[in-house]
Chain A
Amino acid sequence: MKKHSEYEIRGAIRRLISERVDEVSLDDSASLLEGTNLDSLGVVELLLAIEEEFSISIDFVAVDPESLLSISGLTHHLSMLMDESNVG
């Protein structure tokens, strides 16, 4: 698997968000549900797009959904997943 830097991951997440909302003036730590016009199904669709973008699989049963709700949380989680799959 290609290893992305946190910088690249954050940039890709921001791009995927900007394709779905009218404007992004979003703090990295802000909740996507409160800081954007996405509702919960909109966030779910965004998460699926992120999985596809990085060819990665998020375990939606085990993960704490709160860690997927901000750009910084998502960046951290994806970075961790990529490290694990590289080791494995």
Chain B
Amino acid sequence: MADVLSGGYPLLTISRELGNLSWSRSPNPVVNCASPVGSDIAYVMFTSGTTGRPKGVPVRTESLMAYLDVATKRFGVRPGDRASHFFELTFDLSVHDVFVTLLGGGTLVVIPAEQRMLPARFLREKQISHWFSVPSAAESLHRVGALRPGIFPHLRQTLFCGEPLRWPVTEAWQAAAPNSRIVNLYGPTEATIAISYYVVPGRRSRSNDVYGIVPIGQVFEGQHGRIFSRPEAGEQPNRGELWLSGSQVISGYLDAGDGQDAFASGPEGVAWYRTGDAVERAGDGLLHFVGRIDHQLKISGYRVEPAEIEDAIHRAFPACRSVVVRCDRGKRRGLVAAIICEETGDGPAASAVREACGSSLPSYMIPAHVVELVSWPVNANGKIDRAAVRRQLEEHPNPDVVAEHGVES
């Protein structure tokens, strides 16, 4: 971590050595705990980067206060309420868990890691009144048939964020938690935890169901969103990349060299953050998430840039190139690395690839499967067709078949 945070930032390193907790600090730290001001950095979250290394997202105190102000008003808790602490501290949504709950005087109930996968028993035993998770947690419960009507009577508020929220699981959750309102939150780490919201109504309708996904709603008061589209290129003006600006939005990454094209200057000199998320604005003004404009993937809410994994594999195995996709069908699910090597059949063992990735990447970025291909499917422009790679991996249960298929195409 100290290597990543080069450049003279004050560091407090805590490490565990031989059973003793040891503390060390970088020389001349500037510590100002007493009175943080708006431009001070409240926290830095690292998120997957396309350059092959993570980007540091510095969130200012002012941005955090702006979020907490709106979140405590709209989604706050009171003394006596029992709120879940679902998110790991490496995920910025954990900042909501901790601060929104404690600011309201509620009780923060930490879910053990082993319970996160199927949290029904936790929700009931701990009589959780305020739940906040990625939709995946609800999807798992729905998949195993655990979202039976009325099983979560204590629940009064449910927040989902981090992934598209599908209507079928939302309706099952409404039935399981009849006393709970459901709010769908949206926001990249660069916009401080969440920046838009949609309070899910009692039933879905033609206006709030686009492709089976719950809307991300509207941006918080005081924050700004615009849709960047190019009507001159035949694009609809109500559909395009979502740009964000306002007090919750960062103006640059920790390393100024990172992701400069993620920030743009709009009309009247306003600085915008380009989310890379494609959205559609319906007639009633609600925003709907419709996909990504690039290759970014989501794993349990965590952003994953395939390029970062592909780079780690290439560094460990210079004779190989890879394409990492996410498979949702077939027996090969999750992150799958398709590999092509200079000498066909000479590819590294799956365990060696995973080990190499594990030495530099967080666990959620380690490919679940590694498949060696003979050639890439390409699109009309001669570029690697990632969607076709994914389809091949999903549809062919036997990796050898995929390799043969690659020869033919």
Interface residues of A (CB under 8 A from B): 19-23, 31, 33, 37-45, 47-48, 58, 60-66, 68-69
Q: Which 9 pairs, one residue from A and one from B, show the smallest C-beta to C-beta distance?
A: A66-B114, A40-B117, A60-B146, A37-B368, A22-B350, A65-B118, A60-B144, A61-B120, A44-B140
Q: Please determine whether B120 and A66 come into contact, CB atoms closer than 8 angstroms.
A: no
Question: In whole angstroms, how far apart are the Cα atoms of A21 and B370 in the complex?
Answer: 10
Q: Please determine whether A39 and B334 come into contact, CB atoms closer than 8 angstroms.
A: yes
Q: Please determine whether B117 and A65 come into contact, CB atoms closer than 8 angstroms.
A: yes
User: Can you list 8 A-B pairs with a CB-CB distance of less than 8 A?
Assistant: A22-B370, A40-B117, A41-B136, A41-B140, A45-B333, A60-B120, A61-B120, A62-B121
Q: Report if B300 contacts A (CB, 8 A).
A: yes
Q: Please, which residues of chain B bring their CB within 8 A of the CB of A58?
A: 144
Question: In whole angstroms, how far apart are the Cα atoms of A58 and B121 in the complex?
Answer: 13
Question: In whole angstroms, how far apart are the Cα atoms of A22 and B151 in the complex?
Answer: 37
B402, chain A: closest CB distance, angstroms: 14
Question: In whole angstroms, how far apart are the Cα atoms of A44 and B138 in the complex?
Answer: 12
User: Which residue from B140, B368, B370 sits with its C-beta under 8 Å from A38?
Assistant: B368
Give the interface residue-count category, chain B.
Answer: 20 to 34
Also in contact, A23 and B117, with CB within 8 A (given A42-B368, A61-B146): no
Also in contact, A37 and B118, with CB within 8 A (given A20-B331, A61-B151): no
Also in contact, A42 and B333, with CB within 8 A (given A48-B144, A60-B141, A65-B115): yes
Also in contact, A22 and B117, with CB within 8 A (given A42-B333, A48-B143): no
Question: In whole angstroms, how far apart are the Cα atoms of A60 and B144 in the complex?
Answer: 7
A33, chain B: closest CB distance, angstroms: 7
Q: Please determine whether A44 and B114 come into contact, CB atoms closer than 8 angstroms.
A: no
Q: Please determine whether A44 and B117 come into contact, CB atoms closer than 8 angstroms.
A: yes
Question: In whole angstroms, how far apart are the Cα atoms of A57 and B115 in the complex?
Answer: 19
Question: In whole angstroms, how far apart are the Cα atoms of A61 and B364 in the complex?
Answer: 26
Q: Please determine whether A63 and B136 come into contact, CB atoms closer than 8 angstroms.
A: no
Q: Please determine whether B300 and A44 come into contact, CB atoms closer than 8 angstroms.
A: no
Given contacts A37-B366, A68-B118, 19 further A-B contacts (CB under 8 A): A21-B368, A23-B351, A37-B368, A41-B136, A41-B143, A41-B334, A44-B118, A44-B140, A44-B143, A45-B333, A60-B144, A60-B145, A61-B124, A62-B121, A64-B121, A65-B117, A65-B119, A66-B115, A69-B114
